[in-house]
Structure 1
Amino acid sequence: MSKRDYYEVLGVSKGADEKEVKKAYRRVAMKCHPDRNPGDAEAEASFKEASEAYEILSDSEKRSAYDQYGHAGVDPSMGGGGFGGGNFSDIFGDVFGDIFGGGRGRSGPQRGSDLRYTLDISLEDAVKGATVEIRVPSLNACDTCDGSGASPGSSPTTCGTCGGVGQVRMQQGLFQVQQTCPTCRGRGKSISDPCNSCHGQGRVETTKTLSVKVPPGVDTGDRIRLSGEGEAGPEGGPSGDLFVQMSVRQHAIFERDGKNLYCEVPITFADAALGGELDVPTLDGRVKLKIPAETQTGKLFRLRGKGVKPVRGGSVGDLLCRVDMETPVKLNKEQKGLIEELRASLGQGGKSHSPRQTSWFEGVKNFFDDLTT
């Protein structure tokens, strides 16, 4: 007798995600479980069929083999992965444990939780790199009991209720399910004489100071991983990791776009018309920028190599300076007279003396046009 398609058994499409597969199996299993259908061979067969389908479709490797080769890809007699034979308790417990408060035991050492710390840094430190000290609150192993939870001179003992498993079997209606042991709360151990420092928890909340080396070129969103600097694990387990996430503060002068920096530089009417030199700020100090005559406001100038060296490698970016002409203010009588003479002189020449109005966007376009010529 040929097997039915596993997707058909659970009533899901081939594109169903893990959550949908689990929900579908739960629905079939609740309906056909032998405890709810005593003596019903057909219901028992449907339950086993659904469990077999879930075992394959909930495993990414087995599901991939099944999608590619069908039942032959997971049949042990044909070299496939196969279904692990008539014991469905583990599968059923995984799916229904969250309903009945069960699940697998968690006794014994466990890895501690990872932590995240947001580090606020300046643009200068992000570009050039820096070493920064941070203070991180976390759960660390108790020094008094070395993380055991028991007072010095004593040690935890195996829980007499669950036998060290961390779970007990409970009968709830037609189902026999596993629940977290109420005595040891899943730890599998009992502590008769708890440590006074951590009150039997094995961990205490402390704040530790760490030195973080920020590599040159980082940007907002980049993360640095400090292995073993997260929370200490329960039952003396290994510590998790600390992820330090960068947040670069807004700069008063520069804006960053990838490996390039941008800034605005004020320019006088005289320098714009006749040309000259400007002092331009960079992260390494001021440099001279030669301005050609008849420069329009919004013009972009490139200073090569004055940007950012990417943290993941590559060439150093550039600094792009946009000149912005300043209108003179608080002119005296003589200066106003000179400008009046200039205006009159420019007016005599007609449109040929009128500067072409260039918007900021036109300036950007002209800048990139110049690069291609």
Structure 2
Amino acid sequence: MAFIDYYKVLGIDKTASEADIKKAYRKLARKYHPDVNPNDKDAEIKFKQINEANEVLSKPEHRKKYDKYGENWKHGDSYEQAQQQQNRSRQSHQQQGGFEGYGDAEYSDFFESMFGGGFSQRGRQVKYKGQDFNASLQLQLKDVYTSQQQVLTVNGKQIRLTIPAGITNGQVIKISGKGGPGTNGGPNGDLFIEFQISNATPFKRDGSNLYKTVDLNLYSAILGGDLTVETFDGKVKLNLKSPTQNGDQVKLKGKGFPVYKKEGQFGDLYITYNIKMPEKLSDEERQLFETLEKLQQS
């Protein structure tokens, strides 16, 4: 397989910061995601390369090895261990008056053979874990109010995923063994899915609590009475006190968002009242307010 420059894949240079890498990955992942490009083989290949590039460059320890060893970065630890053993062996032979070990050209051959056929230590090949994959999944807030199942296509493979209610924006979950295949019988890599949750509702979410502003007309705020409000899962009737002040808040216990992985547990819903003043008064209404003002002053 031809060498792939992960920096070029993400469209960044080698001095890019971690934030630059994350930004570039998210932009490209959204562009080439299989759900956006169904039955597009080129986009599928590109999406796979983007995930591989992000997996390597987003982790400082992997990036350091990649910068040093290029396409052989996965075997960097084995190479360095072998080099240390070779150096110790060379020093031992020198102390005993023996040969000095490998020359540079010979050691280079050793390096190539180690990565070409799998490093052999006492006749056993080292098992390497497969490449971890990263993917993103875009959902609406209403989609994660209840648990649901989805089928994702990652690198041409369909994966059935149960999404627990209450998952949060930016949360990452790991699906073990759904990454790239291992080498020399090693375990498969893992799949990491980041959730990007949009909110098109009138509710503001903070953890498992929800917040909503409800407009009141001036007369309802003064007189009070029954008020029907929308919650996330239906309507409830409230008793509005008389008078209600602008900015007053009430808490509806258990009417918030599901608590992640805690079946049957919900946060609270906080309702804040916003009193809307009338835009225009009739002559009769003005006279009545003037009468009220005099009553207040008496």
Regarding TM over 0.5, the answer is: yes
Aligned to 2:69: none
CA distance in 2, matches of 1:351, 1:117: 67
2:277 maps to 1:327: yes
Counterparts of 1:30-41 in structure 2 under 5 Å?
Answer: none
Deviation at 1:209, TM superposition (A): 2.0
CA distance in 1, matches of 2:297, 2:89: 90
Report the CA distance shift for 1:128/1:349 in structure 2 as closer, same or farther (over 3 A). Answer: same
Aligned to 2:165: 216
CA distance in 1, matches of 2:183, 2:86: 35
| Structure 2 residue corresponding to 1:248, chosen from 197, 200, 215 | 197
The letter of the residue matching 1:225 is K
- Unaligned stretches of 5+ residues in structure 2: 1-60, 62-84, 91-103, 119-124
Larger radius of gyration: 1
Deviation at 1:345, TM superposition (A): 1.8
Deviation at 1:235, TM superposition (A): 4.9
Aligned to 2:233: 284
| Structure 1 residue corresponding to 2:131, chosen from 105, 109, 113 | 113
* 2:179 counterpart SS class: coil
CA distance in 2, matches of 1:297, 1:131: 43
Structure with more helix by fraction: 2
CA distance in 1, matches of 2:210, 2:181: 42
Post-superposition Cα deviations, 1:40-92, rounded to whole Å, max 9, x if no partner, equal xxxxxxxxxxxxxxxxxxxxxxxxxxxxxxxxxxxxxxxxxxxxx997359xx
| Structure 2 residue corresponding to 1:231, chosen from 180, 199, 214 | 180
CA distance in 2, matches of 1:114, 1:86: 31
Aligned to 2:286: 340
Deviation at 1:124, TM superposition (A): 2.1
Counterparts of 1:75-154 in structure 2 under 5 Å?
Answer: 88=88, 105-106=114-115, 107=118, 108=125, 109-137=127-155
Deviation at 1:224, TM superposition (A): 2.2
Deviation at 1:257, TM superposition (A): 0.7
Deviation at 1:234, TM superposition (A): 3.8
* 1:128 counterpart SS class: coil
Post-superposition Cα deviations, 1:206-238, rounded to whole Å, max 9, x if no partner, equal x12222111112112322221111112245543
Report the CA distance shift for 1:266/1:118 in structure 2 as closer, same or farther (over 3 A). Answer: same
Contact 2:182 2:189 in 1 (8 A): yes
Report the CA distance shift for 1:114/1:104 in structure 2 as closer, same or farther (over 3 A). Answer: farther
Aligned to 2:210: 261
Report the CA distance shift for 1:338/1:132 in structure 2 as closer, same or farther (over 3 A). Answer: farther
Aligned to 1:179: none
The letter of the residue matching 2:137 is L
The letter of the residue matching 2:216 is I
Post-superposition Cα deviations, 1:167-224, rounded to whole Å, max 9, x if no partner, equal xxxxxxxxxxxxxxxxxxxxxxxxxxxxxxxxxxxxxxxx122221111121123222
Post-superposition Cα deviations, 1:319-363, rounded to whole Å, max 9, x if no partner, equal 00111122334x5xxx612320233123324569xxxxxxxxxxx
CA distance in 1, matches of 2:228, 2:181: 54
Counterparts of 1:13-92 in structure 2 under 5 Å?
Answer: 88=88
CA distance in 2, matches of 1:86, 1:240: 31
Deviation at 1:104, TM superposition (A): 10
CA distance in 1, matches of 2:150, 2:239: 38
Aligned to 1:299: 248
Give % identity: 31
CA distance in 1, matches of 2:297, 2:157: 71
Report the CA distance shift for 1:86/1:134 in structure 2 as closer, same or farther (over 3 A). Answer: closer
CA distance in 1, matches of 2:274, 2:285: 20
TM-score normalized with structure 1 length: 0.45
- Unaligned stretches of 5+ residues in structure 1: 1-18, 20-84, 91-96, 138-206, 353-373
| Structural RMSD (CA) | 3.4
TM-score normalized with structure 2 length: 0.55
The letter of the residue matching 2:201 is A
Contact 2:165 2:261 in 1 (8 A): no
